[in-house]
Chain A
């Protein structure tokens, strides 16, 4: 089954404790992206990757890191989480724009930073 998976689905952590949210896709997509969803703000892009070893900032990259060492994986790293990073996070993948922009989203990770 074609899918995007994320882990963990729920995470409660404390300020400053490094964490990683994993994302994996099995559709051989070149393009992968991370979004955060906050009430009243919609989905905001954090980082995206056009292919292995190629990453770029989205609109809200501060406080986040990513890496793309393999085509199927695109982990999101919060080196020193803060309460304002409490949010619902979605990973997504697609074939490379502009051929298609259709994003296939993962199930989401709800992060709470206390």
Chain B
């Protein structure tokens, strides 16, 4: 089945710096790649997603890039702010043998220090 690996598990940056989180997947048929943000004690919420026919998508300070050949995608956060501190999860959907499933990565705890 699909295997999703997420790195790093923790990330600490200074306010204003950029943060990059990377996920790799194994099933080349997978075609949907979302990122969720989970603040402490709260539910996960979608922040950005990309489909396999697009290489990059931006939304203000966040962007996601996809390399289908290498089977990895990344979340980029620029000009980080303390309110970006949270756990971020990547996920993969649309894989063969489980088209309706979402497989999540283990998460990255991002700390943004003022």
Report yes or no: A48 in contact with B100, Cβ–Cβ below 8 A. Answer: yes
Distance to closest chain B CB from A23 (angstroms):
12
Within 8 A of A (CB), among B56-114: 89, 91, 93-94, 99-107
Indicate which residue in B45, B94, B105, B106 contacts A105 across the interface (CB closer than 8 Å): B45
Q: For the complex, what is the distance from the CA of A22 to the CA of B68, rounded to whole Å?
A: 39
Q: For the complex, what is the distance from the CA of A58 to the CA of B89, rounded to whole Å?
A: 18
Q: For the complex, what is the distance from the CA of A64 to the CA of B100, rounded to whole Å?
A: 19
Report yes or no: B106 in contact with A42, Cβ–Cβ below 8 A. Answer: yes
Label chain B's interface by main secondary structure: strand
Report yes or no: A42 in contact with B104, Cβ–Cβ below 8 A. Answer: yes
- Give every chain A residue within 8 A of B101 (Cβ-Cβ): 45, 48, 58-59
Report yes or no: A50 in contact with B106, Cβ–Cβ below 8 A. Answer: no
Indicate which residue in B46, B94, B100, B105 contacts A31 across the interface (CB closer than 8 Å): B100
Whether A20 is near chain B, meaning CB under 8 Å from some CB there, is no
Report yes or no: A106 in contact with B1, Cβ–Cβ below 8 A. Answer: no
Indicate which residue in A35, A40, A44, A98 contacts B99 across the interface (CB closer than 8 Å): A98
Whether B24 is near chain A, meaning CB under 8 Å from some CB there, is no
Report yes or no: B103 in contact with A108, Cβ–Cβ below 8 A. Answer: no
Whether A62 is near chain B, meaning CB under 8 Å from some CB there, is no
Assess A101 versus B93: contact at CB under 8 Å? Given A42-B104, A48-B100. yes
Q: For the complex, what is the distance from the CA of A44 to the CA of B31, rounded to whole Å?
A: 19
Q: Which A residues are within 8 Å of any B CB, using their own CB?
A: 31, 33, 35, 40-45, 48, 50, 56, 58-59, 90, 97-98, 101-103, 105-108
